[in-house]
């Protein structure tokens, strides 16, 4: 209990620090990034930087700016001393060289990081500097009045204080805070230019003025994010206002569409800080995004509960690994020709002491976000190797085990080293371990991945493309990348073999894979109909509930021997 409280407090402190960092960095007119000095990872970007390159958090500097896989030889960050420097840099993403200011600073956790500000193109830097000086003058003047310098409506500071004032003064009425932004605003900037992007933002401000008149209840928070607050009797009141505003914004004079998505926070607890209300409303609006049927969503406590759940999992995960709560389950694979057992996939289960068995879908995505997947996967790989070693020591002739390799490993881990070390430690040859790599991974970083894969293959690992058919360029992929096996995704199987045309697609996919000397595995095989179809199509191997569910090792032992 005490631990949970401490970690909640730590999280709150962290949130405050992050908020402070945000407000300092967003006060700058130029794009700012913070890089880890040793790994070159992007740890932070301000809104300007976001507008410029999109969200690149977690990626490396050289990868984003120079499309390189290794750090630049002449990287100024390496030579940076106590004093800040300004350096002219040529990078792949800007047409002209740019002036960049670098300064050493300390990150929250004490490590050395570098603050980089992109000051403008090198050849027109003086002009850029003048413009910046002029705009920061304007910024300072308007800031004083609490107005947003681009649109002339209230800025976030003024907005926060007016909401606070209103809800404390008028406790007899109910209020809602609504936050919205423009769908794919970055594409508008990219395709039509920043000037048109700015015009769109000004236009939105005008629409808000037209809808709300002299009520000072609306603001631009930052970049393409706007907010307003309204008094309401029923939820319908709020939706009516949103519909009116949304329609007005949609009927714009530009060549492009401006679609907006709204999140609504009902102010039940007036002591919640307004910035948090806005964050919560924004969180809700994300669930409406990309859904044509839905343009607004209410914040509900479920989000908070999900977040708390995720926090709990993060809190428990290290201990769980030490306590051996992550268990290896094995799902058999069979040859369709004679139904002989020919392998098994290693799948993880979390046997939580209080919560029971937790399915990987509830923790793998979170671990892929927080990086813990590196530890968990290595643990599972080791469990697999240990098991094979035991089988060999018992004088058995075991089938190979297939382990999953999460996308997070590429660029974060030396898979080759880890796997070869495991082979040495357990005195195994790579033919006992097959590597399953998801198809979407191949689309992300093809060159880096291919280089790693070729190395692994050259020493005898069998490479399987997992979830084949779930992405877009499957066919191109197996032409360009060296793999041994494709594993047809269960969704692909289900959706395609339901129709005659679909059956032809799967048949040809299998034929083509076989022409390329690839082995074909089908997963998610649930019915006799699946088996018959796959046998007719000359698919080699099947895995699925029709044959067996994933099972603990003790059970699998009985199965195999």
Say how far apart CA 438 and CA 436 lie, in whole Å. 7
Q: How many residues bind Ca ion (CB under 5 A)?
A: 4
Q: Which does 409 bind (CB under 5 to 8 A by kind): ligand C2E, Ca ion, none?
A: none
Binding Ca ion by CB under 5 A: which of 45, 91, 261, 404? Answer: 404
Smallest distance, Ca ion to C-beta of residue 364, A: 11
Place of tokens 């709150």: 12
Q: What is the CA radius of gyration of the chain?
A: 28
Q: Length of the chain, please?
A: 561
Binding ligand C2E by CB under 6 A: which of 359, 370, 431, 476? Answer: 359
Binding Ca ion by CB under 5 A: which of 155, 467, 496, 540? Answer: 467
Smallest distance, Ca ion to C-beta of residue 523, A: 5
Q: Is 39 helix (H, G, I), strand (E, B) or coil?
A: coil
Q: Which residue is nearest to ligand C2E (CB)?
A: 544
Calculate the alpha carbon distances from 448 to 375, 394, 411, 441 in Å: 21, 39, 8, 11
Closest of 202, 208, 248, 207 to residue 224, by C-alpha:
202
Say how far apart CA 508 and CA 505 lie, in whole Å. 5
Site for ligand C2E in 471-490 (CB under 6 A): 490
Pairing of the two strands 341-352 and 326-335? antiparallel
Smallest distance, ligand C2E to C-beta of residue 176, A: 39
Q: Which does 544 bind (CB under 5 to 8 A by kind): ligand C2E, Ca ion, none?
A: ligand C2E
End-to-end C-alpha distance for the chain, whole angstroms: 46
Binding ligand C2E by CB under 6 A: which of 260, 285, 404, 485? Answer: 404
3-state secondary structure 110-178: CCEEEEEEEEEECCCHHHHHHHHHHHHHHHHHHHHHCECCCCCCECHHHHHHHHHHHHHHCCCCEEEEE
Binding Ca ion by CB under 5 A: which of 466, 474, 542, 548? Answer: 466
Query: Which window, 134-142, 170-178, 257-265, 356-364, contacts ligand C2E (CB under 6 A)?
Result: 356-364
Q: Is 174 in the site for ligand C2E (CB under 6 A)?
A: no
**Is 365:373 a contact under the CB 8 Å cutoff?**
no
Say how far apart CA 462 and CA 480 lie, in whole Å. 17
Please report the sign of the dihedral spanned by the C-alpha atoms of residue 38, residue 44, residue 50, residue 54: positive
Q: Between 51 and 466, name the residue whose CB sits nearer to Ca ion.
A: 466
Query: Which window, 36-44, 110-118, 247-255, 521-529, contacts ligand C2E (CB under 6 A)?
Result: 521-529
Q: Between 263 and 524, name the residue whose CB sits nearer to ligand C2E.
A: 524
Residues that bind ligand C2E (CB under 6 A): 331, 347-348, 359-361, 364, 373, 377, 380, 404, 406, 466-467, 490, 523-526, 544-545, 550
Summarize as ranges the residues that interact with Ca ion (CB under 5 A). Answer: 404, 436, 466-467
């Amino acid at each position: 209990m005490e631990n949970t409280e401490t970690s909640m407090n730590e999280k709150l402190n962290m949130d405050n620090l992050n908020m402070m960092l945000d407000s300092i960095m967003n006060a700058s007119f130029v794009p700012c990034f913070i890089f880890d000095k040793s790994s070159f990872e992007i740890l932070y970007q301000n809104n300007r930087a976001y507008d410029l390159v999109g969200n690149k958090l977690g990626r490396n500097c050289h990868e984003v700016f120079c499309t390189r896989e290794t750090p630049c030889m002449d990287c100024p960050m390496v030579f940076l001393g106590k004093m800040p420097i300004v350096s002219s840099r040529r990078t792949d993403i800007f047409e002209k060289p740019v002036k960049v200011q670098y300064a050493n600073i300390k990150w929250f956790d004490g490590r050395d990081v570098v603050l980089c500000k992109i000051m403008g193109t090198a050849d027109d830097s003086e002009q850029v500097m003048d413009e910046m000086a002029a705009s920061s003058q304007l910024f300072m003047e308007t800031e004083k009045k609490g107005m947003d310098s681009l649109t002339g409506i209230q800025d976030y500071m003024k907005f926060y204080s007016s909401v606070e004032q209103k809800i404390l003064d008028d406790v007899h009425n109910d209020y809602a805070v609504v936050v919205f932004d423009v769908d794919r605003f970055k594409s508008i900037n990219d395709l039509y230019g920043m000037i048109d992007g700015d015009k769109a933002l000004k236009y939105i401000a005008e629409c808000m003025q037209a809808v709300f008149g002299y009520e000072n209840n609306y603001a631009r928070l930052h970049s393409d994010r706007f907010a307003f607050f309204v008094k309401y009797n029923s939820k319908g009141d709020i939706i009516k206002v949103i519909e009116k505003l949304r329609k007005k914004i949609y009927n714009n004079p530009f060549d492009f569409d401006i679609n907006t998505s709204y999140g609504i926070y009902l102010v039940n607890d007036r002591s919640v800080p307004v910035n948090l209300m806005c964050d919560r409303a924004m969180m809700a609006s994300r669930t409406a995004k990309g859904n044509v049927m839905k343009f607004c969503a209410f914040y509900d406590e479920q989000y908070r509960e999900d977040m708390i759940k995720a926090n709990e999992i993060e809190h428990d995960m290290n201990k769980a690994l030490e306590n051996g709560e992550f268990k290896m389950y094995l799902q058999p694979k069979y040859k369709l020709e004679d139904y002989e057992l020919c392998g098994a996939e290693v799948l993880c289960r979390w046997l939580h002491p209080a919560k029971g068995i937790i399915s990987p879908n509830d923790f793998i995505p979170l671990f892929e976000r927080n990086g813990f997947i590196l530890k968990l996967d290595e643990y599972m790989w080791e469990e697999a190797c240990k098991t094979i070693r035991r089988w060999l020591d018992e004088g058995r002739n075991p089938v190979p085990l297939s382990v999953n390799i999460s996308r997070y490993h590429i660029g974060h881990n030396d898979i080759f080293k880890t796997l070869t070390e495991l082979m040495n430690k357990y005195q195994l040859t790579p033919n006992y371990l097959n590597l399953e790599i998801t198809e979407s991974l191949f689309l992300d970083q093809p060159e880096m991945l291919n280089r790693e894969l070729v190395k692994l293959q050259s020493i005898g690992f069998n490479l399987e493309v997992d979830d084949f058919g779930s992405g877009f360029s499957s066919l191109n992929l197996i032409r360009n990348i060296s793999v041994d096996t494709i594993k047809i995704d269960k969704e692909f199987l289900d959706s395609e073999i339901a129709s005659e045309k679909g059956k032809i697609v799967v048949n040809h996919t299998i034929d083509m894979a076989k022409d390329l000397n690839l082995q074909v595995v089908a997963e998610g095989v649930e019915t006799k109909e699946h088996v018959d179809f796959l046998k007719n199509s000359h698919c080699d191997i099947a895995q699925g509930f029709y044959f067996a569910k994933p099972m603990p090792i003790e059970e699998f032992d009985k199965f195999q021997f």
